[in-house]
Structure 1
């Protein structure tokens, strides 16, 4: 996958609009009842970052970023300000935020994940773009300052020694969303004061 490990400008992404998308097939029967089937097992996020452009310099930064990514060709990191931590937005990440696995005495590699739960149901999201320096790890509730490492491009946590059987492995972190531009065109408009704007700058989450 063609990907640049660079983040879209934070000052512009803060004003973005968007969130998760699901794909559901709904068939309405003659009786009025419905049959619903999920076409996607996982959600996919869409954003429009045009809302974050407030100055001419912001506009220039987006154009430069777009050109450097060759439009839709290269993916990049994006900070979703509404969902970028392993915990609630009002809290600070801790090593006990998300359980990422249970030791079996053999496995040394575990994927960072985040769970979304409501009403007894939950969905688990793989986190592939952790922010450097933010990952914390705990074994059975005890923070681990060493003995492990994390791959920033994949979100895989590797232990020097496999955690023993039954050991709960937890993590706290901040993360970015892997996205790409969803258009090969930027429609730039310059007003009388030469401030400028772009009608829409769609971004689409990259799923492997």
Structure 2
């Protein structure tokens, strides 16, 4: 049975990966020369090639071992996007005020971590399901919450406030965090060729994002 393994693809290989978000848009060319565009996917889906991170025979073996342990495409796993892996921008320090994740009503104790991408013309809210354990910081109405006032589930991205700390009605909840992307191998075959590798050819290691 397929499932998800809460393990991370080797970080040293992920840092050299290529890829990013993919969207699916239907474009119809009209008779008057204009276009009609329709968004088929509500959310983007990340796609990567981790082959460019392979630099040595030891790296090749690490991929082989990880691939076999996941059963090829069978089980998902964590992957750190080399560019987008924190609640803030590149080079910034994660803080409890980075991302708005909800507003209190005095009763709801659970809030899903999200990250918002926006500019003056539009925005998109991304659900964060795989935060890195120990990195989640939370604030309510600008006041940082201490450890022991909430728990953050690293497998779902849900922050739950404990009794006595549930946000009051109208209180804005923010969070900061590091996170991984839930992915799987997008192939059941990893083709290794040492002769080609020595000559500078890098094996393709396709990964695709999955819902977690």
The question of a shared fold, defined as TM-score above 0.5 by the shorter chain, is answered with yes
Q: Residue 167 of structure 2 corresponds to which residue in structure 1?
A: 163
Q: Which runs of 4+ in 1 moved over 4 A?
A: 192-198
| Other-structure match for 2:114 | 113
Aligned partners of 1:196, 1:74: CA distance in 2, in Å? Answer: 30
What pairs up with 1:81-120 in 2 under 5 angstroms?
A: 81-120=82-121
Partner of 2:39: 38
How does the TM-score come out when normalised to structure 1?
0.96
Q: Which of 174, 182, 189 is matched with 1:185 structurally? A: 189
Q: Alpha-carbon deviation of 1:76?
A: 0.2
Normalised TM-score (structure 2): 0.94
What CA RMSD, in Å, does the superposition of the two structures yield over aligned residues?
1.6
Deviation at 1:191, TM superposition (A): 1.4
Q: How does 1:197-208 map to 2 (within 5 A)?
A: 198-207=202-211
Segments of structure 1 that go 5 or more residues without pairing to the other structure are none
Displacement, 1:163? 1.0
Whole-angstrom CA distance in 2 between matches of 1:120 and 1:134: 31
Question: What is the DSSP-based 3-state SS (H/G/I as helix, E as strand, rest coil) of the residue aligned with 1:191?
Answer: helix
What are the Cα deviations for residues 3-43 of structure 1, in whole angstroms up to 9, with x where unaligned?
Answer: 00000000000000000000000000111111000000000
Aligned CA distance change for structure 1 residues 34 and 163 (closer, same or farther; 3 Å) = same
Does the CA contact (< 8 Å) of 1:188 and 1:196 recur in 2?
no
2-structure distance, mates of 1:163, 1:20:
34
Q: Equivalents in 2 of 1:177, 1:201: separation in Å?
A: 16
Q: Distance in 1 between matches of 2:175 and 2:211?
A: 22
2:3 aligned partner: 2
The answer as to whether partners of 1:188 and 1:197 remain within 8 angstroms in 2 is: no
1:136 alignment partner in structure 2: 137
Cα distance, 1:117–1:193 mapped onto 2, change above 3 Å: closer
